[in-house]
């Protein structure tokens, strides 16, 4: 809303939007209604179609809706533990001087939650190797928090050494999480495809709901690209806009607060990625992307096409 002076000199509010009573506003609404109706008709005509939204796969086929799993609880357990050292880094990085009262309070709360998680690892069904890894990650995080609490902070060199020491275990958790999602999705999709006609399998499309920072290399987008016969670029895989594309990604950031938060996310993730992985843009693609590329290459005996080579010479 913008204030402008009226002819009498008094400020009045002027909106750029057309009022519903404006003939052009009414015409625009007619367009939106017609477009929405046509979109529904087109959607019905392009079935079957699968959507991956968080932990679920949703199939629309023949006017019916089916739902199946895209991930198991193991996926989330592995990712949560991998987030612990990132939380420690976020709390302790960029500080000058001793921790203040608010920071100490957050440190104590984080320590309590990590300790509770560490005490609850048994009985979750981890393999022996996975269980040892989760204990290493959480134990190292607790140790650094205790050091910071005792000293009133942590030296940048010590924090850097901590992040690099956690990287191998964090990436192993990412690989196991990627495998969980790929194998779970594959079981669901293959079960659905067995009930489809050859024509339906040929026409099958997929849409993947993604966040902005995890768009390139998204696990589900990679999976659908390779299983539906699309161009697959491995960990750098992302949507292109060529006609006939069978795998789409859905991302929306139209809210002002979200737009500003996105700028902050880019800045924060660049610093975290540099410290943990030595690659500023590492968190601009799915943290599971590299692992997904390796798993899919082994599963389908195929190598990804590097960016820029897809369709070359065509």
Mapped onto helix, strand or coil, the DSSP state of residue 133 is helix
Query: Which stretches of the chain are DSSP H helices?
Result: 23-45, 73-92, 101-119, 128-151, 156-194, 198-203, 219-227, 256-277, 289-300
Note whether 104 and 88 are within 8 A (CB). Answer: no
Task: Tell me the C-alpha distance between 109 and 163, whole Å.
Answer: 20
The reported pLDDT for the residue numbered 264 is 58
pLDDT the model gives residue 270? 77
Q: What is the pLDDT of residue 3?
A: 46
In this predicted structure, what is the pLDDT of residue 308?
63
Give the pLDDT of residue 259. 46
pLDDT score, position 154: 92
Tell me what pLDDT residue 53 has.
85
- Residue 116 is predicted with a pLDDT of 97
In this prediction, residue 115 carries a pLDDT of: 98
In this prediction, residue 2 carries a pLDDT of: 43
Distance of alpha carbon 257 from its chain centroid, rounded? 19
Q: What is the pLDDT of residue 241?
A: 44
Q: Where are the domains of the chain?
A: 50-73+176-300, 75-172
Alpha-carbon distance of 156 to 208, in angstroms, equals 39
Please give the model's pTM, rounded to 2 decimal places: 0.77
Averages of pLDDT over runs of 10 residues in the chain (314 residues) are: 50 73 90 81 80 89 93 96 96 86 94 97 97 98 96 92 96 96 97 96 86 71 86 68 62 50 62 84 83 94 75 44
What does the buried/exposed string (b/e) look like for 258-276 if buried means 16 or more CB atoms within 10 Å of the residue's CB?
eeeeeeeeeeebbebbebb
Residue 261 has a pLDDT of 56
Residue 206's pLDDT is: 86
Q: How far apart are CA 236 and CA 3, in angstroms?
A: 46
């Amino acid at each position: 809303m913008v204030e402008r002076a009226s002819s009498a000199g008094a400020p009045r509010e002027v909106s750029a939007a057309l009022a519903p009573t404006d003939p052009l506003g009414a015409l625009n609404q007619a367009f939106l209604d017609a477009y929405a109706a046509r979109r529904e008709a087109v959607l019905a005509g392009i079935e079957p179609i699968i959507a991956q939204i968080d932990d679920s796969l949703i199939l629309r086929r023949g006017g019916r809706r089916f739902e199946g799993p895209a991930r198991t609880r193991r996926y989330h357990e592995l990712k949560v533990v991998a987030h612990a050292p990132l939380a420690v880094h976020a709390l302790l990085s960029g500080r000058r001087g001793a921790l203040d009262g608010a920071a100490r309070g957050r440190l104590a709360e984080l320590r309590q939650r990590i300790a509770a998680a560490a005490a609850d690892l048994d009985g979750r069904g981890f393999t022996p190797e996975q269980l040892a890894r989760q204990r290493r990650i959480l134990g190292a995080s607790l140790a650094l928090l205790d050091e910071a609490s005792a000293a009133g902070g942590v030296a940048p060199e010590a924090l850097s050494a901590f992040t690099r020491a956690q990287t191998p275990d964090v990436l192993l958790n990412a690989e196991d999480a990627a495998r969980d999602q790929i194998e779970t999705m594959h079981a669901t999709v293959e079960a659905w495809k067995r009930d489809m006609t050859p024509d339906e399998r040929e026409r099958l499309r997929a849409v993947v709901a993604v966040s902005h920072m995890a768009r390139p290399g998204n696990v589900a987008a990679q999976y659908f690209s390779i299983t539906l016969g699309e161009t697959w670029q491995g960990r750098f895989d992302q949507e292109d806009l060529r006609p006939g594309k069978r795998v789409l990604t859905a991302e929306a950031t139209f809210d002002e607060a979200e737009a500003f938060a996105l700028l902050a996310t880019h800045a924060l993730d660049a610093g975290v990625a540099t410290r943990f992985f030595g690659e500023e843009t590492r968190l601009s693609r799915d943290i599971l992307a590299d692992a997904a590329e390796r798993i899919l290459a082994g599963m389908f005996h195929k190598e990804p096409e590097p960016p820029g080579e897809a369709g070359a010479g065509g």
